[in-house]
Amino acid sequence: MKNYFMIIDGKPVFADSTFPVINPATGEAFAQAAAGNISHVDDAVVAARAAFPAWSSTPDAERQRLIHAIGAALEANMPELMELVTKENGKPLNGLNGVGSGMEVGGAIAWTHVTADLQLPVEVIQDNDEARIEVHRKPLGVVGSITPWNWPLMIAIWHVIPALRAGNTVVLKPSELTPVATLRFVELANAILPPGVLNIVTGRSGSGIGAAIAKHPGIDKIVFTGSTPTGKQIMQNAAGNLKRMTLELGGNDAGIVLSDVDPKAIASKLFGVAFNNNGQTCACLKRLYVHESIYEELCAELASIARKTIVGNGMSPETQLGPVQNQAQLSFVQELAEDARSHGARFLCGGRVMDGVGYFYEPTVVADVTDGIRLVDEEPFGPILPVIKYSDIDDVIRRANNSPNGLGGSIWSNDRAKAAELALRLECGTAWVNEHGAIQPDAPFGGVKQSGIGVEFGRYGLEEYTSIQTLKIMK
């Protein structure tokens, strides 16, 4: 069993003890990671602050070159990284509709190269006989990154690469449930970057490392992806020095299917966007509202697909859905399912933990539910989809918006113009027409309401790692 070390100031750092990393397909440890503590956070911040002046003044083209080199290193080590992601997260190598660890590592590579090529040119506001006014984007300093377990490598890339591109240095803390692919990425990157530019600290649950990063006076910005309650704690902890922050928090995304669609034609796509990564994606479709005229037919089509879906260990090439990532999340999915059952929900398929080892739950489609029960109102983050009947479009838009979350939403219709008009009425950061959850490295992504603060990706996301300095030169 391999032991994975932290990296601080470009050097491997071993802690006094390690903690096990569990493969959710087996319920057993497959690796050990260094059990760091708050003192390691302090060391990492010192290293990052020391590295910042030289890194921030490195010529822009050289920073680009080094980030492209990181992308190349990821690509050269893609099979190893895929295996690590599958073993620690559970997502299949290939996965349902190609959404698996291959997509995660491939996406990480693509995001790295696209972000490397982003530019933040000087903006000229005024240039006349009186004065020239320029707007410059400057790096913030040290960025603290806290990443979740559902897309461990991809989200680390989303945090780290734009921070580096803008000229910041980084202290990274991955989830204690899925640290190994991220540790390997940081090891690869440190063979390319100057010491101290990218540091990683790992620790057990309850180690206080995340809170220490959020509170640390030597950290200038926090970027966090995870639950809304944890995001609120980070905001409170970060208030001490008024850290900048980007928070991508919980979503309970609604999709609305209009009456003009053919259920057979869209069922497979709807199933994919609801169940990819076992439903463990912030921007998965999690509440499906279907017009009463096609409700039963679409429910039947979804259930038929679910019954045929291959669930198993992600290391098997034919597996489409793997396990729920951890026992606590599996228990939460069970809890929501049983609550729905007690309210008279109709389970069209699934609805139980699978026999054998690992944290497996059957792909589950639930009908005859409505707003007000937990399965609809709370984000399950697992392989279970509530399908809700509606009759009036204005009412269903209101119901979709009646949520504290506002990450994504979608409209499904053959009339794209009408669907786009309705999509703009959804209270969410991204709205899709005949799609859900599709993101790309050059288009901004983020939530409204309690789904987050700020955006990621593209120029808009890169700007969040900078401060504005206005320069006025009198003529």
Q: Which residues pair with 83 in a beta bridge?
A: none
Report the alpha-carbon distance of residue 6 to residue 50 in Å, rounded.
18
Which of 104, 176, 282, 349 is labelled catalytic? 282
Q: Judge whether 282 counts as a catalytic residue.
A: yes
Nearest CA among 287, 369, 278, 361 for reference residue 320:
278
Angle at 111 between CA 109 and CA 117, to 5 degrees: 110
Q: Is 136 exposed, middle or buried (0-12, 13-18, 19+ CB in 10 A)?
A: middle
Report the alpha-carbon distance of residue 313 to residue 181 in Å, rounded.
18
Report the alpha-carbon distance of residue 146 to residue 155 in Å, rounded.
9
Q: What amino acid occupies position 170?
A: V
Whole-angstrom CA distances from 225 to 296, 333, 345, 454 are 36, 20, 32, 12
Q: What amino acid occupies position 167?
A: G
Q: Judge whether 248 counts as a catalytic residue.
A: yes
Write out the H or E segment, with its range, that includes residue 264. Answer: helix 263-275
At what angle are helices 78-89 and 152-165 packed, to 10 degrees?
Answer: 120
Q: Could you tell me the two tokens for 458?
A: 């593209």
Whole-angstrom CA distances from 185 to 48, 116, 263 are 17, 16, 42
Which of 88, 104, 176, 248 is labelled catalytic? 248
Known catalytic residues? Answer: 248, 282
